[in-house]
Structure formats: C-alpha cells, structure tokens
Structure 1
Amino acid sequence: MKEMRLHYPLPLMRRIMNVSASGYYAWIDRPPSKWSLQEARLELEIKAMDKRTRYTYGAERLQRELVKQGVQVGICRIKRIKKKLGIRCKQKRKFKATTDSTHSLPIVKNILGQKFTVTA
C-alpha cells in the first residue's frame, strides 16, 4: 500500500483491501519488527558473503560460514533469501574435449624435424 499510495486514493485502497483507517495508520506508524530487522541484516550479510566467495557457495556452505561468525540461521531461510535477492551459485562447467584425434584428415609433414620421444 505504501508504494501504491501515490497512484491510487487511500480510501479506495482501504476499501478494496478491507482495512480500517485506524488499522492502516497503526501499520504506518508501527516500527519494524525484530524479524524484519534481522531479515534485512541477513540479506546484507548474504550479499557480502556471496560477493566475497565469488558466488560459489551454496546455502549449506553459507550457513556453515554464518555459524562460524556467530549468526544462527537455517538453511531454508538462506535459500529463501537468496531466491528473493536473485542470487544463484555459479555452476561448474563439465569438461568438454575439443580435440578430435580420430579424424580422417591428412596429417602435415614434420618440416621442422622435431623429434618427439616419450620419457617414462
């Protein structure tokens, strides 16, 4: 309602959402809850840690690191916050061989006269 207040009249929004005037103003004047403050702090910590680890840590590793720092938080909460922030881990790419040594193309002569011997 706070964001839409500039676009729509307040009485109309209150009537549509079935909210009383006193309830709306009590909500506006209410200080942020302990949980929402903790959530905002966790968001900042997760963003900073993800940047520091170059987006390679998943929720489990992030949780272990946060516990080491003294922050008790569950894995599901970290997953939810990462999803909300749009943070994803970088996936390790599968190795793909790009050399095809079983081709039928002609092999170039050794014009430099290099001698390749295996030492093993």
Structure 2
Amino acid sequence: MDVRGAQVGDNNTQINHYGGPPDESAWLLVDAERILGADHPDTLDTRRNLAHWRGLAGDPDAAVAGLDAVLADYVRVLGPDHPDTMQVRENLVHWRPEGLEALIADRTRVLGADHPHTVRLLQ
C-alpha cells in the first residue's frame, strides 16, 4: 500500500488538505476504488465529496451529474433511509433545490421533526 492508499479512509480531510481543482484530487477516488472497492462507503463518500467540490469550484452541472450518479449507488448499497444517502440528497438540494420538500418529508419520517438534520433543512 502506498502513502496515498494509507490515507484514503480520511477522504474528507484529504480533499480539503490537498486543495486545488477537484480533478487534481481525483487520485483519491482511484485509490479508494483500488483499495476499498467501488461499493465501500468510504469510496462512495469520496465520490460524493468530489462531486460536491466540483460544484463549489464553479461547475454546478458536474456536481449534479456526479451526485445523481453516486446517489443511485448509495441507495443500492446502503438503502434510501441511510443517513449517508440522505446527506447525498442534501448535497443535491444545494445544487438543485426542487428536491428539498421530498427530503424534508423523508428526514421527518426517518429522524423526526425535531432532529437537528431535519431542522437544518427548514432554516
């Protein structure tokens, strides 16, 4: 395992730490897929983070496309009500607000109206 591979598990920190355009940090995804496999939660998180970061870097269409693609895999691997799946949907709402009402309804159903993740959507 190389140095990069040893660090794949902490991909949120890496994306912020290594900086630069998202495409320059795409090696994180390559290493995650190679070491952990395409369906590992950390690999899915890396895909989600890179997609969201593309939007923050000025390409909202790439963010939506990437988040749509990884959302399907989160649903398949973790299920529609898993907190990580809901987080991808929240990231999508950032770029495509029309999904907000459905996300609020699902978060309320799963977590309750007073849960901080539900309340955050209402602010």
TM-score range, shorter chain: under 0.3
Greater relative contact order (CA < 8 Å, ≥ 6 in sequence): 1
TM-score by length of structure 1 reads 0.28
TM-score by length of structure 2 reads 0.27
Name which one, 1 or 2, has greater alpha-carbon Rg. Answer: 1
